[in-house]
């Protein structure tokens, strides 16, 4: 399981991860500039393969990562240490702090000036109560002047993109990834089956993953934030892939303060 998920993490990173990050970091940098702080502490929830960790560390932030996947955390440590593309070579002598945990119950007592949760990770929470629980957990590690920055898929993207018959295919010399998606409007649940392979440690590891996401409306997201004593101060339409789709926008990027 660990090797297989590690292969998926590598293939996803190659296929979509870096592409998303190249767009997301522009929004992050604009937000950090628009909302300056003297407290340079950062928590990345669902940190994945560590792009945000590396980016913040390269800028001089004390950054901590949380993820439920050990293979993702291992990749995140390597990237944040400067050994993968997008890493922070000047931070190699500084320990990388990562923790394996569920985003709905963060095992932390420290407070962070900036909290991020990217790559539509929150859409993987299929129940509104779980979404509110994740927001409450993040609120608990924020001070009165902290900010929460996260993206979620716009609900229109699911029937427009997840409902198409043709699979998404990405491949390279050391990976092959196919994603077949379906969407059930009544349940508002999208399902994705990922198949393929990736070279891990010189060995070709097969990939077969099944993921589910829920389409949340902006109103539902704002209500869940309010339940957690958080409020948006900015909501930005965001298309990280720059492709025309039959949807109003691809993602919503939220900037939130504590109430």
CATH class of 157-214: mainly beta
The pLDDT value given to residue 245 = 56
Structural fold of domain 2-154+216-258 = Rossmann fold (3.40.50)
Contact at 8 Å (CB) between 114 and 149? yes
Distance CA 258, CA 144 (A): 6
DSSP assignment of the chain equals -HHHHHHHHHHHIIIIIHHHHHHHHHHHHHHHHHS--S--EEEEET-TTSHHHHHHHHTT-EEEEEES-HHHHHHHHHHHTTSSTT--GGGTTSPPEEEE--TTS------EEEEEE-TTGGGG--SHHHHHHHHHHHHTTEEEEEEEEEEEE-TTHIIIIIT-SSPEEEEETTEEEEEEEEEETTTTEEEEEEEEEEEETTEEEEEEEEEEEE---HHHHHHHHHHTTEEEEEEEEE-SS----SSS-SEEEEEEEE-
Contact at 8 Å (CB) between 52 and 118? yes
User: Token pair for residue 173?
Assistant: 């010399």
Q: What is the dihedral of CA 140, 122, 55, 236, to 10 degrees?
A: -100
The pLDDT value given to residue 138 = 98
Residue 218: how many other CB atoms lie within 10 Å:
14
The pLDDT value given to residue 15 = 87
Domain ranges of the chain: 2-154+216-258, 157-214
What is the pairing mode between strands 189-200 and 62-67? unpaired
The pLDDT value given to residue 102 = 96
One digit per residue, pLDDT tens: the chain, 259 residues? 455 667 888 898 888 888 899 989 999 999 999 999 999 999 999 998 899 999 999 899 999 999 998 878 888 888 888 755 555 554 444 667 899 999 999 999 999 999 999 999 999 999 999 999 999 999 999 999 999 999 999 999 999 888 888 899 999 999 999 999 999 999 999 999 999 999 988 899 999 989 999 999 999 999 999 999 999 999 999 888 776 455 568 899 999 999 9
The pLDDT value given to residue 216 = 98
Q: Chain-centre distance of CA 164, in angstroms?
A: 23
């Amino acid at each position: 399981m660990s090797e297989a998920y590690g292969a998926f993490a590598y293939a996803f990173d190659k296929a979509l991860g870096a592409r998303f990050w190249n767009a997301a970091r522009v929004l992050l940098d604009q937000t950090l500039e628009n909302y300056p702080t003297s407290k340079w502490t950062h928590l990345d929830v669902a940190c994945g393969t560590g792009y945000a960790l590396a980016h913040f560390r390269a800028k001089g932030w004390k950054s901590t990562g949380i993820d439920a996947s050990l293979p993702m955390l291992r990749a995140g440590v390597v990237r944040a240490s400067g050994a993968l593309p997008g890493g922070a070579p000047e931070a190699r002598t500084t320990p990388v702090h990562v923790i394996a945990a569920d985003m709905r119950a963060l095992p932390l007592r420290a407070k962070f000036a900036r909290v991020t949760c990217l790559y539509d990770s929150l859409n993987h929470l299929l129940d509104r109560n779980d979404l509110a629980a994740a927001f409450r957990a993040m609120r608990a590690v924020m001070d009165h002047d902290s900010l929460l920055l996260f993206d979620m898929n716009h609900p229109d993207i699911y029937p427009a993109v997840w409902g198409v018959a043709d699979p998404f295919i990405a491949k390279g010399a050391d990976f092959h990834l196919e994603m077949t998606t379906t969407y059930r409007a009544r349940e508002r649940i999208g399902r994705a089956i990922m198949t393929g392979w990736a070279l891990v440690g010189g060995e070709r590891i097969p990939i077969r993953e099944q993921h589910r996401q829920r389409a949340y409306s902006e109103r539902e997201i704002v209500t869940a934030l309010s339940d957690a004593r958080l409020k948006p101060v900015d909501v930005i339409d965001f298309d990280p892939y720059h492709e025309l789709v039959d949807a109003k926008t691809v993602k919503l990027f939220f900037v939130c303060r504590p109430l």
